[in-house]
Amino acid sequence: MFQIDKRHIKNFDYVLFVLVVVILLSGIMAIYSASYNVEMQTYSSYYIKQIIWCILGVAVFLIFSAISYKRLISASLFLYIIGVISLVYVLMFGDVNMGARRWIDIGNTSIQPSEFFKVIWVIVLGRIFKDINMDNLSFYEIIKKFLPVLIPVILIFLEPDLGTALIFLVVWGIVLLYRGINKYTFTIILTVVLLSIPVIWANMHDYQRSRVISFLNPESDPFGSGYHVIQSKIAVGSGGFAGKGFLKGTQSHLKFLPEKHTDFIFSVIGEEFGFLGAAFILIMFFGLLLRIIYISTYSKEPTAKIICVAVFGFLFFQFFVNASMVIGLMPVVGLPMPLISYGGSSLITFMAMLGIVNSVSMRRYDRPAEF
């Protein structure tokens, strides 16, 4: 499975790796603050657990870097079947938490199959869009390439996890646009998407609808569905230019800010480090995204390019949604900030995907493979 030589090691992308490590360290610091009890001067186990997840994440990054992405592409069908089985399993036997069945308990740890399926989906997209050098896809060909995403999206939507289901569709759309379609086909797809909005709304759960309503007018229910957004905006706004200082955030430490170590970790950064701290995180992510695109541009193989674009799509969309969510520009959809929010499943997933991107970089001079 491991296919690596001195030339591959020489092409290891240290810029990508350093950017990832800096973001991970920023996340650890933010989670330490979010889990710190000012009165007792102690911190919760979240901080220690995140350090462990980061160490495991770096190991996963290195493992996926050592594995040739071509071998992963060859095994894409098998991985897809295993991923779908795990999604079916979690719907039948998964642990119910806050009204959703998304996790599988393994000992003292819970894993989220929908997160790990993101890695599989990146690989599958590389396979189904391998014909990148063909003319613009017809509508029929697009439908055929859409069918593989339909099964996991439906299963994830039924958990229910609207945010994660949506991100799979968005990433598929980003890859499709990169692949290239004509204006006629684009118009048809856009019309279908717009017409499907009422259907999606009708099948949404009450709490999902309330999140959308609170996004449009959070003050209409300040102690209910709008509470999260209002407190988050107060936290970010009170940080000002330079922030209140490390461990000095009042909204987070006085427990006004909910889910401060997961979905709203960016609010903690904005409150304690202000505009400067938030801008630093934005610059790091922007640099990481640019590096992924750079790796994609000098990759010779179509599947490698698609893999990089898919990873870019996952990272960009989830970061953009989370950062916009905490300042009230988008509804609260429960998507954590990549590499920064507390949580093992999400962190390991993104480290695996970035490891695959590094695998592409390390093998950029290899002979193109045929699948």
Tokens 């959308």 — which residue? Answer: 212
N-terminal to C-terminal alpha carbon distance within the chain: 17
Domain encompassing residue 195: 6-362
Domain assignment present for 368: no
Tell me the average pLDDT across 257-282: 89
Residue 20 included in any domain: yes
The answer to whether residue 331 sits within a structural domain is yes
Indicate the number of domains in the chain.
1
- ∠ CA 338-343-344, rounded to 5°: 100
Distance CA 272, CA 225 (A): 25
Instruction: Rank 68-72, 205-209, 236-240 by mean pLDDT and report only the highest.
Output: 68-72
Task: Give the residue-averaged pLDDT of 150-177.
Answer: 89
215, pLDDT greater than 80: no
Q: What count of Cα atoms within 13 Å lies in the side-chain half-sphere of residue 199?
A: 5
What sign results for the dihedral spanned by CA atoms 186, 187, 188, 191?
positive
Asked, for residue 68, whether it belongs to a domain, the answer is yes
Domain membership flag for residue 1: no
Lowest-pLDDT range of 105-109, 263-267, 337-341: 105-109
- Tell the residue number behind the tokens 């029929």, with chain if given: 140
pLDDT at 326 over 90: no
The DSSP secondary structure of 118-157, one letter per residue, reads HHHHHHHHHHHT--TTSSPBPHHHHHHHHHHHHHHHHHHH
pLDDT of residue 50: 92
Mean pLDDT of the chain: 85
List Cα–Cα distances, 52 to 62, 331, 341, in angstroms: 16, 31, 14
When comparing pLDDT for 257 and 269, which is higher? 269
Task: DSSP for 179-239, please give it.
Answer: H-B-HHHHHHHHHHHHHHHHHHHHTS-HHHHHHHHHHH-GGGSTTTTTHHHHHHHHHHHHT
Residue 169 has pLDDT above 60, yes or no: yes
Query: Is the predicted pLDDT of residue 100 greater than 60, yes or no?
Result: yes
Percentage of the chain modeled with pLDDT above 70: 87
Q: What is the mean pLDDT of residues 242-255?
A: 80
Q: Tell whether 371 is covered by a domain.
A: no
What pLDDT was estimated at residue 220? 57
For residues 136 and 28, which has the higher predicted lDDT (pLDDT)?
Answer: 28
CA triple 87-93-99, angle to 5 deg: 85
pLDDT of residue 41: 64
